[in-house]
Structure 1
Amino acid sequence: MSTEVTLLGVRHHGPGSARAVAAALERLRPDAVLVEGPPEAEPILGLAAAKDMVPPVALLAHAADDPARAAFWPYAEFSPEWVAIRHAVDHGVPLQFIDLPAGHSFAEGWDGGVEEEDAALPRDPIARLAEAAGHDDPERWWEDVVEHRRPADGEDALAPFAAVAEAMAVLREDGGASLRDRQREAYMRGRIRAARRAGHRRIAVVCGAFHVPALAQTPTVAEDRALLAGLPKKVRTEVTWVPWTHRRLSQLAGYGAGIVSPGWYHHLHRTDGDPLPGWLTRAAGLLRAEDHPVSSAHVIEAVRLARALAGLRGRPLAGLTETLDAVRAVMCEGSDVALALVQDRLVIGDALGSVPEDAPAVPLQRDLARLQRTLRLKPAPEPRDLDLDLRKETDAARSRLLHRLRLLGVDWGVPVRSQVASTGTFRESWRLCWQPEFAVRIAEAAQWGTTVERAAVGKAVGTARAAAELAELTGLVETCLVADLAEALPAVMRVLTDLAALDTDVAHLARALPALVRALRYGDVRGTDHGALGEVAGGLADRIRVGLPPACTGLDAAGAAVMRAHLDEVHGAIGLLGGGDGLADRWAGTLRSLARREPSGGPATGVPGLLRGRAVRLLLDDGRLDPAEAGRRLGLVLSTANSPADAAGWVEGFLSGGGTLLLHDPRLLGLLDAWLTGVPAAVFTDLLPLLRRTFATLEAGVRHTVGSRVAAGPLDSGDAEPAAEAAAVDLARAGAALPVVALLLGLPVGAAAGSGAGAAPGADRPRIPRQAGGRDT
C-alpha cells in the first residue's frame, strides 16, 4: 500500500489558514501529523489538550547551560499549527515536530547560515503575490483571498492548499532560499522519510507555504545529508510552555510574530457567521465604558457603512480597514483618539494565555508561581498601579518579592511616584506589567538558586564580588535591605568596606553615600539591623568632608556642575544621618571652608563660584549663617574686583535652592540688580545664557514678582535695613490670623487670641519657631 503525503502550506497565525487546516484534516483523517516546529518539544506536546492550556501560549526553548540563548514559538488559537496540534492530540494521532532542532541554533558562534543570497528574496512572499495580483496592500489582499474565505458547500478542502503551493512554486523558480532555509527543508524531508519508514500511510504535513515546493521535491538522501553536514553540534536544550499575549504577537521585533491585528484575527476565528455585528457591538461596549455616547443605532449604522465601503472598494467582505473606518465615522465622530482606544483594546488586545501547572519549569519559576498565588499578585499584561503599606505583612511581602525580582532582572514591577500624598518610608508605589519574555530571564536567574529568595541572595553576592565601583555596592546594599536579603548583607558589606577603604575619589564616595543613607531609612521601617551600615555611612561622610575642598579646587564649568549635584546629595544625606556625633557641625565647617576658597591667582587656584555660592546657601538654609552675612558675601562677590563669570556662577549656586530670598530681603535683590546693570555690554552678552539658566529654575511666581519689583525700582542695595522692616504693618489684620496659626503649630491659643487690634507690637503674640532656613516665618 502506497504512502500519501499531503503538504498543507499555511501562513503562520492566520484564521483563514487555521480554518482551512481544520477542514483538510477532517477530510484526510491522517494517521500521522507532522508540524513545522522544534523536535525537542515533542515530549510536552500532549499538554496542549490540558484544561488549563489556554492560548496564546508559546514554546520556550533555551540552551540548558546558558538560558540567555533562547527562542520562542508562539501559538494563538487562530494559528494553523495550533489547530494541527490539537487535532492530533484530540484524535490520538502520532504528532511530530519536523523543523531543524533548536539545539543547532543555540550553538556558540553559529550565525544561522545567513548568506548573501538571502537578498534574493527581498520581501515577504505574500507581498510578492499581492503585487502580482495587482494589489498594493498585502494584508488586505491576503484577508480577501484567505482569511475571510469560508469553504463553500461541497468544495474540496484541499483546493486552497493546491493553489497556494502552485503560487509558491512560481515564486521559488528563481531560487530565493537562504542556506538556513535549505538546511531546514532538508531536515524536514528526512523526517517525512522517517514517518514513511515507520509505516504511516496518510501523512499530513503542516508547514509554512514557502517551504511546500521544496518539500514536494525528492532529492536523494545523500544530497540532503550534504546540506546538513555544515550544521554545528547540537546544544542540550530544554523546552517548556509559557503564557503569551496578543500584544506580543503584534510586535515584529524581538520575540514577536508581526501580526498587526491579533484581536481581530481571534474574533474572525471564533465567529462562524458574519463577524461584523459582533465585533462592532464589542467596540460600542468598549467606547461606552470610556464614557463615549454610543448606542445600538450607532452599531447598526456602522455595520451598514462597513459593508457599503467594502462594496465600493471591490472587496468580497468588509475587512479590518472598512470596519475601523466605520467605527471612526459613526462611533467616534471622526476622533482618532477614540479610535486608538478601539485599535489598542480590540484590534490588538491584552489577552494573556495560561499553561498547566504540571508543565516543565525550572524550580525558580515554580516558586515564583507559588508566591504569586500566596500574595494574590496575578500576572497581567496590562499595566496597573499597586500601592503598598509596608506596615502590613502582606504588603511588605509583596514589596520584598518585587525588589527581589528586580535584582534578578525581572522588572515585573517598576517603582513609581505615589499618588497618595505621603512622605513616610512605609509607603511604596509600583506599576506592574507582566511580559512574556520574563520567562527567559527567570530561566537565566535559575543559576543563582531554586527559590526567589535564594536566587536573589546568590545574585547579590555574585554582583558584589564583581563590582568595580563603590556606588554599585552601595546601591546593592540598599537593594538588599529593601528586599530583606539579610543573608547576603554580610558578604556585600565585606566587599563594600574593603572597596571604601581603598577608594580615594571624592566623587565616588559622594555617589555612594546617599544610597547608604536611604538604606538606613528603609531599615527603620523594616526592622533591619543596620548598625554596621551606619558605621560605614558615617565613615564615608567624614572622608567626603575631609576630601571635598581639595576636590572642588580648580574645576572647570562642567566639573563644577557635576560636583554641585554631589554636594547637594551629600548635604541631604548628612542631614538624614543626624548630628548626634557632631557630624553636622563638622560638615558645616567644610561648607564654610568651601565658601572661603576664592580664586586668588586665577580660576585654577580656588573653588568655582558655583560651589562657593551653593555652600553659602546651604549654610543659610540650615540657620548656620546670618542673612546679613549672606548679603555681605553676595556684595563682595558682586564687586568689580571679581570676574563677572565667577560672580554669575556664585549667583547660580546661591539661587539654585529657590529665589524667594530675593523677595524676603530686598537688599539682596538690590545688590544683584546693581551688579547686573553695571556689567559691561560685551561681558553681559557672554553671561546672558548662564543668567537665563539661573532664573529659569525659579518658580514662575517668584520670577514675576522679582520682575515687578525691579520694574518699580529703585532697589535698596546699601547697608540700610531692608525695606520690609520699615514697611507699615496692619496689626489688626495680622492679629486676626494668629489664633489659627497657633492652633496649627500646637501653641497655646488663648495667648494668641488676646492679640489683635489695639495690641502693642509683639505683645502676647505666640512666637513661631525658627525654621531650618534660620529666618522667622
Structure 2
Amino acid sequence: MGVTIIGVRHHSPACARHVGAVIAAIRPRHVLIEGPADFNDRIDELLLGHRPPIAIFTGYRDGTRMHSSWSPLCDYSPEWVALQEGARVGAQLRFIDLPAWHPALADRQNRYADADQRYERATGRLQTAFGAASVDALWDRVFEVADPSGIGERLAAWFEMLRGGAAADESDAAREAHMASWVRAARHDGDDVVVVTGGFHAPALERLIGTDDGRSGWPQVPSLPEGAQAASYLVPFSFRRLDAFSGYQSGMPSPGYYQRLWAEGPRAAGDGLMADVAARLRARHQPTSTADLISARVMAEGLARLRGNAVPARTDILDGLASALVTEALDVPLPWGRRGTIQAATDPVIVEMVAALSGDATGRLAEATPLPPLWHDVDAQIARCALSTGKHRMSLLSPSGVDRSRVLHRLRVLSISGFHRLAGPWTGSEEVLDETWRVDDDDMRQSSVIEASGFGATLHDAAMAALTQRAADVGTDPVAVASSVLLDAALCGLSELTGSLVDNLRAGIGRENDLASLGVCLSAMLTLWRHDRVLGSAGGEGLGAAIRACVPRIMWLVEGLRAIPGRDPGDEPPDRDTVGALVSARDAVLSGPAGIDRAAVLAVCRRTWHDHTAGARLRGAALGLCWCLGDAPADAGRLVRGSARPAAVGDWLFGLFALARDEAIDEPAVMRAVDEVVTAMGPEEFLVSLPGLREAFSVFPPAERQSLAGVVLGLHGHAAAGASSLVRRQGAAPELIAEAAAVEARAEALLAGAGLLDESGPVDRGGDDG
C-alpha cells in the first residue's frame, strides 16, 4: 500500500504509455489526476465514448471579470490514459486541482500551461550537453524515441532537475497544497494510490505528502464567490488548437505527428510524416519528386545517427525534409528550433510542412454528453429561422427578415462558427435595406456554442452579456463604443442595452481630441440613426443628442488645425481620415437629427478655406463642405488656380472632391482651371503633383472619370469619344510613365544645351572618329 506520483509532460505519448503501464501493474484503489476538482461529480461524462481531442471548458463571470479556461485531452494525453485505464481496473477516479475559475488560475486560459520559463536555464544546460536544438528535440531524444525501459526513473530525475530548489509562486503553491490534500485523503482511505500530475508539481507533491496534517475525509472544493457564475462542459477540440505552432501554451507541438507516434510507434510515425508532407505539398502544386523524398529520408537517417537517436525523431525528419525541399535562403530560422507561433516570412514550403505535422483531426462528443442550455436554444433558433447551410438573403423591411437578421447577428457577436455576413448596412453613408449571409456546416460550431454558454443560457441573454462585457472593456472611448458595441447592439435587437451605451458615448465625445476618431464615431452613429426604421432600436433622443454633440466637437478640432505657427502652408497635417471626419459632419447636417447648428459649421469652414496657413487638403475639404451645404464659391476656378503649387494641388482637390464631388463635377470652371494648372506645369512639377492628383480623382467612380476625360479632350479641341482610352489602365504605373517622360525631357535639354538637338531631333555630327 502506497502512493505513486507520476510526473508527466502533458500530451506526451511516452508519458501516456508509462501511466497506462503503471496503473495496469498496480491496479490502485484511487487514481488522482491533475484536473478541475469541481468536475468530480461529473467525471463519468469523460467515459462516455468520445472521440478525442476534447476539452473540459469552464466559463466564469462575476461583476468585475469574465474568464474562460480549457483543459484539453487527446488520445496520448497522460491524463486521458489515466482516466481510461483507471476505469478499466476499477479505480476511483478524481481530479485534484483547483477549479479553473479559481484566482490561482486566473491568468491561464489553459490549465496545462506550466511555465517553461521557470526552468529555461536547466533545459538550456541539457540542450548544450546533448547538442539538441530545442527542448522539444531534447525531450524526443530522451523519451519519445528512446528505449522505454527505465522511463520512470528518467522522468523523476528530469523533473527533479527542472524543479530543483526553486520555490513555487503564490498560485502554484496554492494549487500544490490543494492537490497534496487530496493525495493525503486518498492515502488515509487505504490501498494503493496513483497520482498523475504535471512534472513541475511532482517533486513538490512528494515533499508535501510526507507530513500528515491530521485531517480525514476528502477536501472541500472551493466555493464560488458570492454573485459569481461558473459552468463547465465538455467541448470538442482540434489538433489545430492543440498545436504549439498555433500558440497553444503547453504540451507537445505537431499533434498529428505525435498521434501517429502514439498509435504506430516512432519508426512508422516518421514514415507517415514523410508521406503526409509529400501529399500536402503535391496537393498545393509544390514540386516534390521521389528523388527529393529519398534524399530527405537519407538525410534524416544520418542526422538521427549523428544526434544519437535510435530512430529518426521529429526534428530529424523535418531537418531532412527542409534540406531536400527548400532551395532558397531562409529569411527566418526554422520554426521547430523554438517554441511559439510561425513567424512572418517563413518559407511557404516550411509552413506546409508544419501544417502537415499538425494534422486536421477534430474531436467529437458522445451523443449522451450533457450540453448547456445555450446549445439547445441556439439549435431551436436556427431551426425556427430556417438557417440551413448555404446563402440567405433577407429584407430588413420585413418583420421576418429583421427577426432572422437579429438571430444571425447574435450568433456573430458570440463568435459562433459557421455564420458569415457577406453584405448589409455597415456605414452611415449607405442606404442598404437587405443583408446576405452564408451559413456553413462547421465542425467547431458545437464547441463555439458551448464556449459561448458562459455568457448566458439563451441566445438573447448571451449576446447581451457579451456586448455588455465588451462595453466595459472599451469604457468611454467613443470610437470603440460607437463602432464596436452600439451598432452591434442595434443589429442584435438589444434595445435595452443602447440607452446606457449612448450615455457612455456622450461622455466620451466631450473628451475625445482625435479628429479622425470622432469621424469614425459619428459615421457609426449616423448608421443607427438612418437605419432606425429598420433596426428599431437606436434612433431615440439620446442618440440624437450624441450626434448633435459630436458635430461641434469635430468643428472645434478643425478650427484647431488652422494657423499652426511656423508651418509651411504646403505642409499637410491632416490625413485622409481627417477629411472623413468632415464627410461625417456633412452627412450629419444634411440627414442627421434636427438641431445641428448649420450656421456654426459653415462659419468654421469659411474661416478654414480662407486661411492660407491651413493645410491644402483641409482647406479643400472645408470649401467642399461649404459648397455642398449651399454656400457655393463665387469663382471656383480662381480658387483652383490659387492652389497651383504642385505639391499641394492634388491634396486640395482631394479635399474638395471628397466633400463636394457632385457640385465640383457640375461646375465647368473647375475642370477648366484644373486643366490650365496641369498644362502649365513642367515635367518635374507634374511628377511632383501626380500622386496627389491620382488620389484626388480616385474619388470619382470609373464612369465619372471617363466623363471628366471627355471634358478635358473637349478643352483641347478633341472629340470626347476618345475618353475611354485615357482612363484605361496602362501597362505600367502612371508615376513610372511620368518619371520616364521627365528623364527624357532632361536628356533632351542636355542635348540641346550641347548643340546636339534641333527641331527634327538629335544631330549626327559624324566625324572621322565616329
TM-score by length of 1: 0.66
How far is 1:266 from its partner?
1.7
Q: Which residue identity is paired with 2:155?
A: V
Pair 322,169 (structure 1): closer, same or farther in 2 beyond 3 Å = closer
Residue 275 (1) aligns with residue 265 (2): no
Pair 121,134 (structure 1): closer, same or farther in 2 beyond 3 Å = same
Q: Which runs of 5+ in 2 are unaligned?
A: 109-114, 330-345, 425-429, 565-571, 701-710, 726-770
How far is 1:194 from its partner?
1.9
Residue range with higher mean Cα deviation, 231-240 or 23-32: 231-240
Q: For residue 317 of structure 2, what is the aligned residue in structure 1?
A: 323
How far is 1:611 from its partner?
3.8
Q: For residue 204 of structure 1, what is the aligned residue in structure 2?
A: 194
Residue 314 (1) aligns with residue 305 (2): no
Distance 1:735 1:416 in 2: 35
Q: For residue 740 of structure 1, what is the aligned residue in structure 2?
A: none
Pair 730,474 (structure 1): closer, same or farther in 2 beyond 3 Å = closer
Q: Which residue identity is paired with 2:308?
A: G
How far is 1:375 from its partner?
7.7
- 1:593-647 CA-partner distances (Å, limit 9, x unpaired): 55643688996xxx87644422434577899858x931023345669xxxx9999
Q: Which residue identity is paired with 2:582?
A: L
Q: Are the aligned partners of 2:57 and 2:451 in contact in 1 as well (CA < 8 Å)?
A: no
Q: Are the aligned partners of 1:517 and 1:537 in contact in 2 as well (CA < 8 Å)?
A: no
Q: For residue 284 of structure 1, what is the aligned residue in structure 2?
A: 278
Q: For residue 390 of structure 1, what is the aligned residue in structure 2?
A: 394
- 1:401-431 CA-partner distances (Å, limit 9, x unpaired): 453255568798686789xxx9955345789
1:502-517 matched pairs, under 5 angstroms = 512-517=521-526
- 1:741-777 CA-partner distances (Å, limit 9, x unpaired): xxxxxxxxxxxxxxxxxxxxxxxxxxxxxxxxxxxxx
Distance 1:66 1:582 in 2: 39
Q: Secondary structure, in 3 states, of the residue corresponding to 1:123?
A: helix
Q: For residue 29 of structure 2, what is the aligned residue in structure 1?
A: 31
Distance 2:699 2:528 in 1: 36
Residue 339 (1) aligns with residue 349 (2): yes
Q: Are the aligned partners of 1:5 and 1:202 in contact in 2 as well (CA < 8 Å)?
A: yes
Pair 204,98 (structure 1): closer, same or farther in 2 beyond 3 Å = same
TM-score by length of 2: 0.66
Q: Which residue identity is paired with 1:17?
A: C
Q: For residue 583 of structure 2, what is the aligned residue in structure 1?
A: 568
Q: Which residue identity is paired with 2:95?
A: F
Residue 263 (1) aligns with residue 256 (2): yes
Distance 2:592 2:75 in 1: 61
Pair 318,18 (structure 1): closer, same or farther in 2 beyond 3 Å = same
Q: Are the aligned partners of 2:649 and 2:693 in contact in 1 as well (CA < 8 Å)?
A: no
Q: Secondary structure, in 3 states, of the residue corresponding to 1:37?
A: strand
Q: Secondary structure, in 3 states, of the residue corresponding to 1:204?
A: strand
How far is 1:358 from its partner?
5.7
How far is 1:464 from its partner?
8.4
Q: For residue 363 of structure 2, what is the aligned residue in structure 1?
A: 353
Q: For residue 138 of structure 2, what is the aligned residue in structure 1?
A: 141
Pair 444,310 (structure 1): closer, same or farther in 2 beyond 3 Å = same
Pair 224,346 (structure 1): closer, same or farther in 2 beyond 3 Å = farther
Q: Which residue identity is paired with 2:81?
A: V
1:678-757 matched pairs, under 5 angstroms = 694-695=692-693, 697-698=695-696, 724-725=713-714, 727-730=716-719
Q: Which runs of 5+ in 1 are unaligned?
A: 111-117, 380-385, 678-683, 703-721, 738-777
Distance 1:734 1:602 in 2: 38
Q: For residue 155 of structure 2, what is the aligned residue in structure 1?
A: 164
How far is 1:726 from its partner?
5.6
1:73-222 matched pairs, under 5 angstroms = 73-100=71-98, 105=103, 122-123=119-120, 126-133=123-130, 135=132, 137-149=134-146, 151=148, 159-169=150-160, 174=165, 177-178=168-169, 181=172, 184-199=175-190, 201-217=191-207, 221=211
Distance 1:597 1:633 in 2: 15
How far is 1:75 from its partner?
1.8
Residue range with higher mean Cα deviation, 163-172 or 134-143: 163-172
Distance 1:105 1:462 in 2: 19
Q: Secondary structure, in 3 states, of the residue corresponding to 1:270?
A: helix
Q: Secondary structure, in 3 states, of the residue corresponding to 1:390?
A: strand
Q: For residue 426 of structure 1, what is the aligned residue in structure 2?
A: 434
Distance 2:468 2:163 in 1: 55
1:541-580 matched pairs, under 5 angstroms = 552-553=558-559, 555-556=561-562, 564-572=579-587, 577=591
Q: Secondary structure, in 3 states, of the residue corresponding to 2:23?
A: helix
Distance 2:239 2:51 in 1: 15
Matched residue count: 659
How far is 1:514 from its partner?
2.4
Q: Are the aligned partners of 1:363 and 1:451 in contact in 2 as well (CA < 8 Å)?
A: yes
Pair 238,544 (structure 1): closer, same or farther in 2 beyond 3 Å = closer
Q: Are the aligned partners of 1:388 and 1:399 in contact in 2 as well (CA < 8 Å)?
A: no
Pair 435,342 (structure 1): closer, same or farther in 2 beyond 3 Å = farther
Q: Secondary structure, in 3 states, of the residue corresponding to 1:274?
A: helix
Q: Are the aligned partners of 2:552 and 2:601 in contact in 1 as well (CA < 8 Å)?
A: no
Distance 1:109 1:124 in 2: 23
- 1:447-500 CA-partner distances (Å, limit 9, x unpaired): xxx3112343466689889975776665555323422345656x5698599989
Q: For residue 17 of structure 1, what is the aligned residue in structure 2?
A: 15
Candidates 237, 252, 256, aligned match of 1:244: 237
Report the identity percentage: 24
Q: For residue 49 of structure 2, what is the aligned residue in structure 1?
A: 51
Q: Which residue identity is paired with 2:140?
A: E
Q: Are the aligned partners of 1:99 and 1:184 in contact in 2 as well (CA < 8 Å)?
A: yes
Residue 451 (1) aligns with residue 458 (2): yes
- 1:282-331 CA-partner distances (Å, limit 9, x unpaired): 22222232233546676566445433442344321111222223434556
Pair 363,127 (structure 1): closer, same or farther in 2 beyond 3 Å = farther
Distance 1:735 1:100 in 2: 75
* CA RMSD, Structure 1 to Structure 2 (Å): 5.8
How far is 1:566 from its partner?
1.4
How far is 1:206 from its partner?
1.9
Distance 1:322 1:451 in 2: 51
- 1:92-143 CA-partner distances (Å, limit 9, x unpaired): 3211223355565359999xxxxxxx99954275555455556454322221
How far is 1:572 from its partner?
4.8
Distance 1:367 1:514 in 2: 34
Pair 435,343 (structure 1): closer, same or farther in 2 beyond 3 Å = farther
Q: For residue 528 of structure 2, what is the aligned residue in structure 1?
A: 519
Q: Secondary structure, in 3 states, of the residue corresponding to 2:582?
A: helix
- 1:209-264 CA-partner distances (Å, limit 9, x unpaired): 34444444576536799xxx9x9998586433233333333349987325322222
1:472-491 matched pairs, under 5 angstroms = 475=483, 476-485=485-494, 491=499
Residue range with higher mean Cα deviation, 189-198 or 426-435: 426-435
